[in-house]
Structure 1
Amino acid sequence: MFATFATFTALAFAPGQAANAATPAAGDADAVQRGAYLAAAGDCAACHTAPHGKPFAGGLPMSTPLGRIYTTNITPDPATGIGNYTEEDFARALREGVAKDGHNLYPAMPYPSYAKVRDEDVAALYAYFMHGVQPVSQPNRDSDIRWPMNMRWPLKIWNALFLDKGVYRDKPGKDVAWNRGAYIVQGLGHCGSCHTPRGIAFNEKALDESGDDYLTGALLDGWFASNLTGEHNTGLGRWSETDLAQFLKTGANQHASAFGAMTSVINNSTQAMSDADIGAMTAYLKSLPAAGGDGGPAYAYDPQATKVSLSRPADDAGARVYTAYCMHCHGTDGRGFAPMLAPLAGNPNVLEKDASSLINVTLNGTGDLVIQGIPAPYPMPAYGNVLTDRQVADVLTFIRAGWNNDAGAVGVRDVVKLRAQTQASR
């Protein structure tokens, strides 16, 4: 269901210059433990730990419209990490996007969301990164963004226009769980960084539920981050709170399975969160009214016409590809074997107007969901080297029309474009 905005959630801090962080006093142990939990809730490892790299040492390459950037070292190493950051320095970088030396961070770092993090949680995060993370000496790598686009001073103007300073304040008339969920989703969870559309200045069009565009879905880095409002077809309208909690804990439920960068969110973040916090997030998200979508009628399952076409696959090019490569996992009825194998009938990702996620996952597959140390048994394989662009377009058009999904056709040009984009980013 979800796709994470992995391309634009990095560049948190600049390197430091001071002595190694001290070993925490016994009284700080609780703060370090609490900070570790909050760092997981914020999914810091996903961006600041490169594949096969050391934790939080940075170096993960990420593509942006301006060029490739590389995530930074946020370990307490004094020369290459953040070892000389005071708590005030740390808070300013986290909430305002300003490094210790005064240079502005790219809004790739989701500091517009982190601006809402409360003082006590900033303090716990600081304790964890200074005393609970192993220092790693690894110099940061300069971005590939060329001059003059790599100049930082315009970011001061960007911040003046789009950064809403001030920590989250509980909304009157809402209960404790709702406010806790709103605080996590809007703040450390930074869900809007992926799931809210961006303006021409790369600003989120809304930062909370008061904006009509908030969490209505967005195209980011070759994936479409799903609509998280109550929209009935492409959003969470047909999901119960139990469905949503199951997805956040395991990455799969009766409606959909995680793919793309959302697998990292499940693996490194939400599965480690407490049941109470997951419950708070689901309560908040399920309270959001329907927004976005195409305004069409609510989905109603109807398998008959699709079953007939699959009984005569020679009549349809997409059906031929489906019977050869897809049917053994997703079934003739399109319902798969949820939650082990994702359904296609009524799946919000299938119903979404933008088919980017479907094209991407068909071409490139998805990484393993690893829940409590156990990899999921049936990850989506990559078919980019097996199917032609025409075959991918045909089978996805068939799926989007099947089982009464009534979604638009997929064009060959869309497949060609996304194949080139995803190959270039590797």
Structure 2
Amino acid sequence: MIKITHFCIASALLAGMGMVTSAQADDAQLIKQGEYISRLGDCSACHSIPGKLEFSGGLAIESNLGTIYSTNITPDKEHGIGNYTEQQFSDAVRKGVLPDGTRLYPAMPYPDYVKISDEDMHALYVYFMQGVKPSAEQPPETDLSFPFSQRWGMRFWNWAFTTDKTFQPIGGASAEINRGAYLVESLGHCGSCHTPRGLGMNEKALDSSDADFLAGGNLNGWDVPSLRGMPRWSEKEIVDYLATGRNDKAAVGGEMKAVVEHSTSYMTDADLQAIASYLKFLGGNPPLAQRNEQAVQATEAKLTAAKNLTTGERLYLDNCGACHFVTGKGAPGIFPELDQATIVNAQDPGGLIHTILAGAQQPSTAKAPSTLAMPGFANRLSDEEVAQLATFIRQGWSNKAPAVSADQVKEVRETLKH
């Protein structure tokens, strides 16, 4: 009897150890899943700054209302979210409501995050509570001017401009397209930048059932392109751009650099392909205009001959031609095209002006670790010279965009000082 008892006890202990080991494995897998979900949601880009622990907040986000500072979302119990229950965490992410009833500003993209699935939300909560290192960092408080400082007013904004709808799959679409739709409409919150804004600074549409969704807009002086159909890019070029920050036609700039650096470059190949399939599935953009070969050849010939050049043409050869060439085609996967480029032909030239003045640098990613940088010319070129250069680029080859003025350059240059 004693031997049987000892055997039973030992069996029970071994069984219990097996259960613990299994539970630990489940937790580890859930944390790993939650970390990936946080990458899909691009949480690090807004809630982290160099030199501080990840997710400890403090990023200054410029908006039309003023400067909004991101919060500490580490599991620190005093300065972070360590005391949040899972329901409170979900309410903050999906509804923009903190445990004490304080309303978040929609710089936190909860109008899109509301579509995050329960499964993904649970994994995200477990990751932030168990997989993130606590930080006692206290970020600056957001202090907007009246009446925007009255956060209770967000209750009415939410009533007018948000929804409590969960993600709605597209009827008749493939599983891959619907996976892409879910990622773009919820965690990716692509609409927060690529959907036009209404009078209330609200996204005019929150899903693909509305033609305004992902139809383009303006963000901090940059024209944001429409993503509907993307007729100029193939699915592979979309995948390459999101995975590496570059493709055979373009390279990231502006806000997209951080998106690629912190989010899309970590996505699986399957998720990247799903996003590309979904974007190509969307309609709404006109067919790609035919390249004007006669105009292209005329620009190439004049730059090659280098005679009787305008100021803009001369500045192009002196500052840009070595990388983008007389063809304006650049080098595939290295230097972006200028002929027919979206940033070049945007109605608002702010993005192009900013790039000429401040330069640009591609992010280092797992699939493209090298960083290629374009120098800025703010200290080298005057406002008038930048205007002449930008005008030539916007009207050379087959580009047909309006001219740029020195006053427009001056306005962008002022923003660089801040």
- 1:188-203 counterparts in 2 under 5 A? 188-203=187-202
Partner of 1:165: 164
The answer to whether the 8 Å contact 1:255/1:346 transfers is no
CA spacing shift, 1:290–1:415, aligned 2, 3 Å: same
The answer to whether the 8 Å contact 2:57/2:139 transfers is yes
Give, in whole Å, the separation in 1 of the partners of 2:385 and 2:51: 34
Tell me which amino acid in the other structure corresponds to 2:279: L
CA spacing shift, 1:300–1:247, aligned 2, 3 Å: farther
Q: Report the CA distance between 1:217 and its aligned residue.
A: 1.5
Give, in whole Å, the separation in 2 of the partners of 1:422 and 1:247: 26
Q: Report the CA distance between 1:226 and its aligned residue.
A: 1.8
Aligned-CA RMSD value: 1.8
Tell me which amino acid in the other structure corresponds to 2:393: I
- 1:1-400 counterparts in 2 under 5 A? 25-230=24-229, 236-291=230-285, 297-301=289-293, 302-310=295-303, 311-312=305-306, 314-372=308-366, 375-400=369-394
Give, in whole Å, the separation in 2 of the partners of 1:299 and 1:189: 33
The answer to whether the 8 Å contact 1:304/1:403 transfers is yes
Q: Report the CA distance between 1:155 and its aligned residue.
A: 0.4
Q: After superposing the two structures, state which structure 1 stretch, 303-312 or 259-268, moved more.
A: 303-312
Q: Report the CA distance between 1:313 and its aligned residue.
A: 5.5
Higher helix proportion:
2
Q: After superposing the two structures, state which structure 1 stretch, 382-391 or 143-152, moved more.
A: 143-152
Give, in whole Å, the separation in 2 of the partners of 1:118 and 1:239: 30
Q: After superposing the two structures, state which structure 1 stretch, 275-284 or 340-349, moved more.
A: 340-349
Partner of 1:5: none
TM-score by length of 1: 0.89
SS in 2 for 1:329: helix
Deviations 1:304-361, CA, capped at 9 Å, x for gaps: 1112332336531101110111000100110111211111112122122222211111
Q: Report the CA distance between 1:252 and its aligned residue.
A: 1.0
Q: Report the CA distance between 1:166 and its aligned residue.
A: 2.1
Q: Report the CA distance between 1:197 and its aligned residue.
A: 0.9
Tell me which amino acid in the other structure corresponds to 1:143: T
Give, in whole Å, the separation in 2 of the partners of 1:285 and 1:151: 38
Name the larger-Rg structure.
2
User: Percent identity between the aligned chains?
Assistant: 42
Give, in whole Å, the separation in 2 of the partners of 1:120 and 1:396: 49
The answer to whether the 8 Å contact 2:324/2:335 transfers is yes
The answer to whether the 8 Å contact 1:218/1:226 transfers is yes
Tell me which amino acid in the other structure corresponds to 2:31: V
Give, in whole Å, the separation in 2 of the partners of 1:209 and 1:38: 22
The answer to whether the 8 Å contact 2:361/2:372 transfers is no
SS in 1 for 2:178: helix
Give, in whole Å, the separation in 2 of the partners of 1:288 and 1:62: 30
Tell me which amino acid in the other structure corresponds to 1:362: I
Give, in whole Å, the separation in 2 of the partners of 1:373 and 1:289: 30
Q: Report the CA distance between 1:370 and its aligned residue.
A: 0.4
| Structure 2 runs not aligned, ≥5 long | 1-22
Q: Report the CA distance between 1:277 and its aligned residue.
A: 0.5
Give, in whole Å, the separation in 1 of the partners of 2:385 and 2:226: 28
Deviations 1:76-117, CA, capped at 9 Å, x for gaps: 000000000111001101110101111100011000000000
Tell me which amino acid in the other structure corresponds to 1:267: E
Deviations 1:371-394, CA, capped at 9 Å, x for gaps: 228653422221112111111111
The answer to whether the 8 Å contact 1:222/1:422 transfers is no
Deviations 1:43-64, CA, capped at 9 Å, x for gaps: 1111100122210000111211
Give, in whole Å, the separation in 2 of the partners of 1:354 and 1:141: 33
TM-score by length of 2: 0.90
Give, in whole Å, the separation in 2 of the partners of 1:170 and 1:62: 32
Give, in whole Å, the separation in 2 of the partners of 1:237 and 1:117: 29
How many residues align? The count is 394
Give, in whole Å, the separation in 2 of the partners of 1:30 and 1:372: 22
Give, in whole Å, the separation in 1 of the partners of 2:175 and 2:367: 32
Give, in whole Å, the separation in 2 of the partners of 1:58 and 1:375: 26
SS in 1 for 2:373: coil
Give, in whole Å, the separation in 2 of the partners of 1:204 and 1:41: 20
Give, in whole Å, the separation in 2 of the partners of 1:29 and 1:347: 45
Tell me which amino acid in the other structure corresponds to 2:271: D
Q: Report the CA distance between 1:26 and its aligned residue.
A: 4.2
Deviations 1:11-50, CA, capped at 9 Å, x for gaps: xxxxxxxxxxxxx944321111101001011111111001
